[in-house]
Structure 1
């Protein structure tokens, strides 16, 4: 905000990655089904944010509010980052929802019950974001100003409602170097990334089921060759062969995961797997699993003709995989039999 959060004015390039990570559902061990959560559903959101985004949405009676609106706004504000180093703006805005201290004093509450109202606590920050946006949506609806009430509310969040009143709408590109104008346009245009089927419902317990649940929160996240890690998605790189789309390097401008980084993220920190698919196979190959005995969380591997292991997936059951197929695609669910060429299937291991 200019008055509440620092807005990045760069557009989000939504491209997907080249490697693959899969999740499959095990019969009798864990089950999965697509669910929606109201407001168009919610996907592609870190697990630690998901619960609070849905709570913030449910607490607001304004029809223009939706989980995807809050998620896209959080992504624009902080990319879901929570550390002081990564989520403090040059203007002094703090936390994943980028509150300036005076604005936080108005909207901040101890939502997570830990005894402190802090803009750095995910629950506190998201619920405060929801309260402020709900109030702004109501003001926008009652203002009579032309345009999308969501755009007006977002402009108020970024620049302050006084600026919306001054311009009787979203401030133009000439205001603040276009920061507020771009902020509004980017969030509204990227909401669709967070809409749609929600989490896979995964029953069962243990490291494997937990890893599957965590990985499933990333459905819809773009593929970025070389991107991602234990802390979440990040931009990747191109190596002369991988990471390109339509002749250009997509990975370097795409925030996402590749196959092995998604697996690493899913298991971290309880099991600290290495970064690449080949290294993950070598780290777990002493615990092989036959295809008939797969359980949720087992890792599945594919290799090319020269023996190089190019893909890893997490087994979740029911013959399906959740994976990041390749550059230009998103983390998604597909049948195990068609996710990768069957002739390349190497085997499975249990971390």
Structure 2
């Protein structure tokens, strides 16, 4: 199979592929998703095969309007309606209880709930409308690898495995959507993202954050709760404070391989990096760092000479919560410590 790059003026062609049961990657404001007709079981199965994704890892259903959600879900309560009014279209995924047999168990991971999202991307909204069906859309990468923020990232991972990629340029946020479970008595954030806990509570009141570890025999309600995510081939370590970078330099000088440095300009410009250090800028804030994290990890992943990657940590508040969630999983919770 040859993977075709579709431009925004070729959305009708991309939609035709979706209607034929093929896979087309699409852009959102967070990361690129891997699209298939959510009502076509064989197409959904192709998503799992293309990604190498475990079959009990549920998929997010992307919709162009609220009416599509209401077609599949039980009646929306007032809190859900408030969230939709405030944050859709946008980087918020909402888990809802489903009508009986409304969606295939292949989409839901065998659960009686499903995750819905209305992405803030004009090209993808047009694609969904043109196809006339909701689209499943996990991140368009090989399972476990850093999520794609550019069409070329998708092409690198999935060329020859999918029919096409709708290229609408780089994504805005760079970390996946916030996932909130609204099927429980108290709303629970299952995955932090660009919409923060504080923002959610301003709209619907108390919101809990899940610290639950999903065991091997449990089905996760949302992506990212059970399986390894965001991991490049090289070892990743989090650098917690500015004072630790001198020790990172000392460590790097002692290595006979290349070392990746992913940090803000403040850090990059402050240090005299050894020749074996390859740097990537997170620019100057948690906003830019969140946007560029996956791009940096992917760039280093393309360099087989890089065996270790050091990444700047941020306080896990606000958007920093989402950033550190992704970074901690990428690093396997490993933090740099001076030997």
Q: Establish whether TM, by shorter chain, passes 0.5.
A: no
Q: Structure 2-normalised TM-score?
A: 0.29
Q: Which structure's CA Rg is the greater one? A: 1
| Higher relative contact order structure (alpha carbons within 8 Å, sequence separation ≥ 6) | 1
